[in-house]
């Protein structure tokens, strides 16, 4: 059974550009969440999508957006990149919105974004 | 606002030692708590999930406990091995549905010396 797949694994972008990251959840999982991991702030929740709708959102500026397709695959977009956006971006999938009481989330290996 | 703290930030032990990692949270009204392992530059691997109604969960050499009233969880690793070296993260969930996002501690970096 394939796990959560994130592409690309590494990205280098210039300040001011925009970037799109992709996440394919485990087959049958309908919820996809995105997290940002930095050395200073640790892991922080960005948003969660379920049935193509954003259901929950963390405290990030509007430059961070996402979407989910009918096959549950999700993309995250960051516009007008800043140096502080350099981070490991992780996505996680779950069968249900908000996970389940005894299942939780399965994480992908992440996309390492470097903004120069 | 829920905050999750993990102490110590780093821990170094000799191989074979039993050890305990600590996690504390400020709001006892949690839905569940999950322990993860992260190897350098990699994603998260789920180790154990404890529901709010449970007191502990076990998997192999790992045992996690939960005391909601005191806002604490511990991860016990028995007979540590060099392969256990990684960063261990705990995360709490406040609710299900649209409240289901995880709130993470900053982790404990464990080094097991041969």
Is it the case that residue B95 has pLDDT exceeding 80?
no
CB neighbour burial string for B3-24, b if at least 16 within 10 angstroms, e if fewer = ebebeeeebebeeeeebebebb
Residue A61 pLDDT class (50, 70, 90 cuts): very high
A97 vs A111 pLDDT, higher one: A111
Q: What's the gap in Å between the CA of B110 and the closest CA on chain A?
A: 16
The arrangement of strands across the sheet holding A64-68 comes to A5-7, A19-24, A74-78, A64-68
Q: What is the pLDDT of residue A1?
A: 64
Those residues whose C-beta lies under 8 Å from the C-beta of residue B60, and which sit 6 or more positions away, are none
Token representation of residue A64: 């961070």
Distance CA B102, CA A99 (A): 10
Give percent of chain A above pLDDT 90: 84
Residue B67 pLDDT class (50, 70, 90 cuts): very high
| Interchain proximity B101–A42, CB inside 8 Å | no
Mean pLDDT over residues B75-101, rounded?
A: 90
| Interchain proximity B49–A45, CB inside 8 Å | no
Q: Which residue of A has its CA nearest to B3?
A: A44
Would you tell me how many other CB atoms lie within 10 Å of the CB of residue A33? 30
Token representation of residue A60: 């990030």
CA distances from B108 to A11, B51, B88 (A): 27, 22, 5
Q: What is the pLDDT of residue B70?
A: 94
pLDDT tens per residue, range A6-18: 999 999 999 999 9
Chain B, window 84-103: residues with a beta carbon less than 8 angstroms from a chain A beta carbon: 89, 91, 93, 95-103
Q: What is the pLDDT of residue B9?
A: 94
Q: Which residue of B has its CA nearest to A38?
A: B106
Helices and strands of chain A, counted as H and E runs: 0, 11
Mean pLDDT over residues B24-49, rounded?
A: 91
pLDDT tens per residue, range A93-102: 988 777 666 6
CA distances from B63 to A29, A42, A106, B10, B91 (A): 28, 24, 20, 19, 16
Q: What is chain A's mean pLDDT, rounded?
A: 93
Would you tell me how many other CB atoms lie within 10 Å of the CB of residue A58? 16
Token representation of residue A40: 């200073």
Is it the case that residue A2 has pLDDT exceeding 90?
no
Burial class (CB in 10 A: 0-12, 13-18, 19+), A1: exposed
**Which residues in chain A are contacts of B5 at CB distance < 8 A?**
none
Task: Choose, out of B101, B106, B108, the residue to mutate when testing the contact with A (most A CBs < 10 Å).
Answer: B101
Q: Is B45 at the interface with chain A, CB within 8 A?
A: yes
pLDDT tens per residue, range B3-35: 999 999 999 999 999 999 999 999 888 888 999
Minimal Cβ distance to B43: which of A56, A97, A108: A108
């Amino acid at each position: 059974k394939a796990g959560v797949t994130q592409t690309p694994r590494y990205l280098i972008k210039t300040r001011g550009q925009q970037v799109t990251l992709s996440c394919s959840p485990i087959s049958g999982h309908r919820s996809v969440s995105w997290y940002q991991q930095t050395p200073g702030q640790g892991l922080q929740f960005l948003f969660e999508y379920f049935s193509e709708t954003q259901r929950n959102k963390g405290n990030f500026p509007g430059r961070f957006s996402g979407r989910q397709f009918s096959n549950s695959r999700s993309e995250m977009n960051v516009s007008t990149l800043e140096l502080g956006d350099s981070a490991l971006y992780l996505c996680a999938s779950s069968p249900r919105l908000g996970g389940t009481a005894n299942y939780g989330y399965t994480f992908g290996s992440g996309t390492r974004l470097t903004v120069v | 606002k829920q905050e999750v703290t993990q102490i110590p930030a780093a821990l170094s032990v000799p191989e074979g030692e039993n050890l305990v990692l600590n996690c504390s949270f400020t709001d006892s009204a949690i839905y569940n708590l999950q322990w993860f392992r992260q190897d350098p530059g990699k994603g998260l691997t789920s180790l154990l999930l404890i529901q709010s109604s449970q007191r502990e969960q076990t998997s192999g050499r790992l045992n996690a406990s939960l005391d909601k009233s005191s806002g604490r969880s511990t991860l016990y690793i028995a007979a540590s091995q060099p392969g256990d070296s990684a960063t261990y993260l705990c995360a709490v969930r406040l609710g299900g549905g649209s409240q289901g996002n995880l709130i993470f501690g900053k982790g404990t970096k464990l080094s097991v010396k041969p």
